Amino acid sequence: MRIGIDEVGRGCLAGPVTVSGCLIPAGCRFSAKLPELRDSKLMTRLQREVWYEWVKTEGQEKGIIVAVSSAMPNTVDRLNIARAANLAAWRSLNKILNEGDLFKVSVILDGSLFLKSRSFQNAGDFYGNISSVRTVTGADRKFKEVKLAAVMAKVTRDAYMRRMAEKYPEFGFNEHKGYGTKAHMEAIKKLGFIEGFHRQTFLKNAVPGLTQEGF
């Protein structure tokens, strides 16, 4: 069996970086009614949400295990984005291992993700039931477990950002999801930043000279 791990929100100015792990049992068949499972960035919101709901109902009955972990902005500022994402990846993996009675699983991480850190992952000091761990560039286009992990992470994070948009409607989080769009940058310059929700280390580079205390 294989566990795929992917993240969303790495480059955002606001909100968490969210990492999901996904295990799909051997022989698991997806419903024919589902849209094609692709790189989550190439899927529509509706397609992703159809998959999300299916996993939460029929998928879990088929033995699919999904775990989602987030590192909030204060953690990103304290550790840096890479370490925060890697920590969330480690937490998601452990949730899956604790939930399932698994034996000899391989782990595939997408892009720049590592378990805890690159050096820790390369040392290979893992639980006995993990046979291998690899970080693969473009894994979200090659492995169904990583594709589905990305979908679950994105739907989870997007829903959270829409809730934050209701709390802070002036910022338009429902549209840009915290990324550094022109509209988001203009809102920050006009309104200031949201304490504990905007990543201070990111703002220093994105909005030079920003001195407002924020919300």
| Cα→Cα distances 191→53, 135, 187, Å | 36, 40, 6
Q: Please report, in tens digits, the pLDDT of each residue of the chain (215 residues total).
A: 899 999 999 999 999 999 999 999 988 999 999 999 999 999 999 999 999 999 999 998 999 999 999 999 999 999 999 999 999 999 999 999 888 677 788 999 999 999 989 999 988 877 778 889 999 999 999 999 999 999 999 999 999 999 999 999 999 999 999 999 999 999 999 999 999 999 999 998 877 666 555 54
Question: Out of 1.20.810.10, 3.30.420.10, 1.10.150.120, 3.30.565.10, which CATH number does the structure's domain 2-164 have?
Answer: 3.30.420.10
- In 3D space, the residue among 70, 69, 67 whose CA is nearest the CA of residue 99 turns out to be 67
**Domain coordinates in residue numbering, the chain:** 2-164
Q: Rounded CA gap, 101 and 98, in Å?
A: 8
Q: Of all helices (H) and strands (E), which one includes residue 124?
A: none
Q: Rounded CA gap, 76 and 73, in Å?
A: 5
